[in-house]
Amino acid sequence: MKLKDIRQNIDLIDSKILKLLNDRMEQGLLANKLKDKIEDLQREKEVLEAVRNNANTLTESKFSEELFKTILRFSKELQTKDLIITGFQGEHGAYSEEAVRSYNKNYVTIPCTTFNEVFEGVNSGIYDYGIVPVENTLGGMVGPVNELLINTELNIVGAIDMPIHHCLLMVPGTDHRDIREVYSHSQALAQCRRFLSRNKLTPVPYFDTAGAANMLAEKQPRGAACIAGKLAAELYNLEILKENIEDLNSNRTRFLLLSRHKPEEDGSKCTITFSTEHKAGTLFSVLELFASSGINLTRIESIPNEPGDYSFFLDFDGSIKDPKVIETLEKAEKQTSGFKVLGCYNEKIIEG
Amino acid sequence: MQKLKLVELTGKGKRTRIKIGDITLGEDFVVIAGPCGVESEEQTLKTAEAVKAGGGMMFRGGAFKPRTSPYDFQGLGLEGLRILEKAKHNTGLPIVTEVIDPRDVSWVCEFADILQIGARNMQNYSLLKEVGKAEKPVLLKRGMYSTLKEWLNCAEYILAEGNPDVVLCERGIRTFETYTRNTLDLSMVPAIKELTHLPIVVDPSHGTGKLSLIEKMSLAAVAAGADGLLLEVHVNPCEAKSDADQQLNPEQFASLMQKLLKLNQFIQDKIFKSSITGGDMQ
């Protein structure tokens, strides 16, 4: 083993320590949402006690205790800052996280395993906001998210329409000629199918794009690369072999920002949901109301509740304060069941 | 010539045209310019801006360099390709870059608009077969010891694999003359035109290896009927890691471009038109 190899190991360990510290700070911020006040001396005592008793051969308890006192101090400092916390599905580096950052780079992003966790986290007040993808130009509707939206009490307070540019990422220093397998979410693999076949690369499905990047960085499997976003390359110290490898550059995803509260200011776009009677022409007569008022519909989606029973989503251009919109919605409500305005919000369109 | 089934000019006289962006090789007069090697991002991007400003139509630069000595600068590899991609993004100029390893062909295709096969690799048959399967045009340089027949057979290899878009490039051959780096064989331009349907460009930078001779030989190549030129341009030639003696600086390039375009226009207007109308050159 050479000094260079040892130093490479040290660099890898350092980056893992930093990632874990970041995770710990995140948990501190979440705990703060449920505590009465930031400082909890009893809890601090417990933490330091556990650290003292957990001493490894080289990390003596005196050292560990000092280190954790510093960690606790910084964690408390962060908690005083009233940071705005947004939950997203996926691991750090996911496209949802990129969407949050492009919406407001000061929002703190916390990863969740499932979409349901995002909704529940916002509902319970642990997260100030949640972000979820609703539709992709190539992949279509994100089914599970739309199902959750029908039954949610949360409000849509913003939308982000963002281009999705996939990158081929590899462990720095890998010889591109050795790459045989490419890990990523099956959607991302499908969107880069022609690129993969041109370069004779085997797609290997993984649960998440950023998760694949994390795995690649940690396990460094031989002859492997992954498809993920630029943010993932940055977070996991991976080298971007090639940018924009998607087969079509019209690849875009629309995300919704959810909150327990209504938006402070009204926007120019609305989302409603409703069900209609299972009878000829019922949906048509609702849509006709919008047509005759000259309101432009931007999305219609149907979600099956049970056989023969559908919920519909309608997105349209307009403000909830506009008399024309108010009148149309009043009429629509009378003709439908389960009618709900999910939100009137502004949509941020990111070019590129 | 025998057995040149695919490159030969047939009785119908149909010539190969290769469309790259707004440019059609074989129809438009095309100047491909840029540094010998991609040495750094700054050098490459600055040179690309200079090529664009000077009127160049495509940008060249080597990321994989076949060098005489294994101890010479071998190129930046993949990093070089990413820099070229950036140069294209900044200037809009299509990219011409050399590929030297059959394993790199698909990767270079992801970044380049034209694959260059260098003189040293002209008869690297496994490489020729690989670029013959690629979906990008190939610029095939003449080997420094190769006859016309050998050269055309190499083009035939590429066409035989299914890639019809081949551009030939005369870059000088080894003779007993030592004053110039190579002897630029301009007779190849009309010879290629009468034998084949492929476009031909001329590289006076390697063809002479001498800065002072490049301008005159470039003009001579245009007069000989070349479809374009390949010129080495460096934002700061004295600092170049390779071919320092034959790279034009941006001012020299811009001045040469003016002359080339004028001469080409003159030839198109006065000589070719007159040969159809009966001639007003007397």
Residue position matching structure tokens 């040293």: B120
Contact A199 B110 (CB under 8 A): yes
Interface test with A, best of B74, B78, B81 (most A CBs within 10 A): B78
Query: pLDDT at position B278, please?
Result: 44
Query: Which of these, B54, B224, B220, B20, lies nearest to B137 by C-alpha position?
Result: B20
H or E element in which residue B138 lies = strand B138-141
* Binary contact (A199, B78; C-beta < 8 A): no
Looking at the DSSP bridge assignments, the partners of residue A227 are A168
Using an 8 Å Cβ cutoff, are A252 and A171 in contact?
no
Phi, psi of B205, deg, nearest 5: -65, -50
Q: Are strands B138-141 and A309-317 parallel, antiparallel or unpaired?
A: unpaired
Q: Which helix (H) or strand (E) holds B132?
A: helix B125-132
The pLDDT tens digits of the residues spanning B100-130 come to 999 999 999 999 999 999 999 999 999 999 9
**CB contact A195 to B (< 8 Å):** yes
Name chain B contacts of A241, Cβ cutoff 8 Å: 78
User: Which pLDDT belongs to residue A280?
Assistant: 84
pLDDT of residue A248: 87
A293-306 pLDDT per residue, tens: 999 999 998 888 77
Length of chain B, please?
A: 282
Q: Which residue in B82, B101, B106 is closest to A200 by CB distance?
A: B106
| Cβ neighbours around B193 below 10 Å, total | 18
CA distance A18 to chain B (A): 28
CB A128 within 8 A of CB A259: yes
Which regions of chain A are under pLDDT 70? 55
Which of B110, B133, B135, B136 is the best substitution to test chain A (most A C-beta atoms within 10 A)? B110
For A105-117, what is each residue's pLDDT tens digit?
999 999 999 999 9
Query: Can you read off the two tokens belonging to residue A30?
Result: 């979440």
DSSP category for residue B50? H
Tokens of A193: 């199918």
- pLDDT tens track for A151-210: 899 999 999 999 999 999 999 989 999 999 999 998 899 999 999 999 999 999 998 899
Q: Does A199 touch chain B (CB under 8 A)?
A: yes
Q: What is the pLDDT of residues B17-29, one digit of tens each?
A: 999 999 999 999 9
Residue by residue, what is the 3-state secondary structure of chain A? Answer: CCHHHHHHHHHHHHHHHHHHHHHHHHHHHHHHHHCCCCCCHHHHHHHHHHHHHCCCCCCCHHHHHHHHHHHHHHHHHHHCCCCCEEEEECCCCCHHHHHHHHHCCCCEEEEECCHHHHHHHHHHCCCCEEEEEEEECCCEECHHHHHHHHHCCCEEEEEEEEECCCEEEECCCCCHHHCCEEEECHHHHHHCHHHHHHCCCEEEECCCHHHHHHHHHHHCCCCEEEEECHHHHHHCCCEEEECCCCCCCCCEEEEEEEECCCCCCCCCEEEEEEECCCCCCHHHHHHHHHHHHCCCEEEEEEEEEECCEEEEEEEEECCCCCHHHHHHHHHHHHHCEEEEEEEEEEEEECCC
With CB atoms and an 8 Å threshold, state whether B109 touches A198: yes
pLDDT digits (tens, 9 = 90+) for B193-242: 999 999 999 999 999 999 999 999 999 999 999 999 999 999 999 888 88
Domains of chain A, each with CATH number or no CATH = 3-79 (1.20.59.10), 85-163+252-349 (3.40.190.10), 167-242 (3.40.190.10)
Strands B200-202 and B166-170: parallel
Query: Largest Cα–Cα distance in chain B?
Result: 59
Does residue B276 surpass a pLDDT of 70? Answer: no
Residues of chain B contacting residue A238, judged by C-beta atoms under 8 Å apart: none
Catalytic residue, chosen from A88, A255, A312, A313, is A255
CB contact under 8 A, A242 and B109: no
Closest Cβ–Cβ partner in A198, A240, A243 for B106: A198
The pLDDT tens digits of the residues spanning B117-164 come to 999 999 999 999 999 999 999 999 999 999 999 999 999 999 999 999
Q: Kindly give, in sequence order, each residue whose CB lies less than 8 Å from that of residue A131, ignoring residues fewer than 6 positions away.
A: A86, A87, A88, A96, A99, A100, A103, A118, A160, A255, A256, A257, A258
Contacts of B11 (CB under 8 A, 6+ apart): none
**Cβ-based contacts of B111 with chain A (< 8 Å):** 242
- Nearest of B38, B18, B117 to residue B79 by alpha carbon: B38
Q: Which two tokens stand for residue B37?
A: 């090697």
B243, HSE (Cβ side, Cα atoms, 13 Å): 28
Give me the phi and psi of A234, to 5 degrees please. Answer: -65, -50
Establish, for the pair of chains A and B, how many residue pairs have beta carbons separated by less than 8 Å. Answer: 21
Give yes or no for a contact between A192 and A261, defined as CB atoms under 8 angstroms apart. Answer: no
The identity of residue A206, as a single letter, is: Y
What is the DSSP secondary structure assignment for residue B161, as one 8-state letter? Answer: T
Neighbours of A102 (CB within 10 A): 14
Say yes or no for a CB contact (<8 Å) between A199 and B107. Answer: yes
CB A136 within 8 A of CB A251: yes
* Residue A177 touches partner B, C-beta closer than 8 Å: yes
> Which pLDDT value is given to residue B275?
53
State the smallest CA–CA distance between residue A199 and chain B in angstroms: 6
CA distance A182 to chain B (A): 15
Q: How many CB atoms lie within 10 A of CB A167?
A: 25
- Residue B6 CA: distances (Å) to CA of B1, B131, B162: 12, 16, 10
Residue from A170, A174, A175, A176 to probe the interface with B (highest B Cβ count within 10 Å): A176
Band (pLDDT 50/70/90 cuts) for residue B274 is low
Counted residue by residue, chain A has a size of: 352
Give the residue from chain B lying closest to A195, CA to CA: B110
At residue B273, the pLDDT reads 66
The Cα–Cα gap between A100 and A103 comes to 5
Residue to mutate among A170, A171, A242, A244, with most B CBs inside 10 A, is A242
Domain ranges of chain B: 21-273
User: What is the predicted pLDDT for the residue at A266?
Assistant: 80
- Angle among Cα B231, B121, B119 to the nearest 5 degrees reads 30
**Residue A298 catalytic?**
no
- Fold for domain B21-273? TIM Barrel (3.20.20)
User: Chain A partners of B108 at a C-beta cutoff of 8 Å?
Assistant: none
Is residue B281 very low, low, confident or very high in pLDDT (cuts 50, 70, 90)? very low
**Rounded distance, CA B162 to CA B135, Å?**
9
| DSSP-derived secondary structure letter, B230 | E
Which residues are within 8 A (CB) of A213 and not within 5 positions of it... i.e. 6 or more apart? A91, A93, A169, A226, A228, A232, A233, A235, A236, A238
- CA A12 from centroid of its chain's CA atoms: 26
CB contact under 8 A, B110 and A200: no
Gap between the Cα atoms of B254 and B51, Å rounded: 8
A30: left (phi over 0), alpha (psi -120 to 50) or beta: alpha
Of A86, A109, A174, A253, the active-site residue reads A253
Catalytic status, residue A255? yes
> Is B106 close to A199, i.e. CB distance below 8 A?
yes
Q: Does residue B88 register a pLDDT over 60?
A: yes
| B 93-152 residues with CB < 8 A to A | 101, 103-104, 106-107, 109-111, 135
What pLDDT band is residue B282 in, cutting at 50, 70 and 90?
Answer: very low
| Contacts of residue A61, Cβ cutoff 8 Å, sequence gap at least 6 | A51, A52, A53, A55
> With contacts defined as CB-CB under 8 Å, which chain A residues touch B103?
177
In angstroms, rounded to a whole number, what is the distance separating the alpha carbons of residues B181 and A20?
Answer: 61
User: Are B78 and A198 in contact (CB < 8 Å)?
Assistant: no
For residue B80, give the chain A residue with the closest CA: A241
pLDDT of residue B203: 97
A195 interaction partners in chain B (CB closer than 8 Å): 110
Q: How many helices (H) and strands (E) does chain B have?
A: 10, 10
CB nearest B78 (choices: A195, A241, A245): A241
Residues of B in contact with A230 (CB under 8 A): none
Q: Which residues in chain B are closer than 8 Å to A240, comparing Cβ atoms?
A: 82
Average pLDDT, chain B: 93
pLDDT grade, residue B11 (50/70/90)?
Answer: confident
The gap from C-alpha A58 to its chain's centroid, in whole angstroms, comes to 39
Q: Which of the residues B107, B108, B130, B135 would you substitute to probe the A interface, choosing the one with the greatest number of A C-beta atoms within 10 Å? A: B107
Which of chain A's residues have a Cβ under 8 Å away from the Cβ of B105?
none
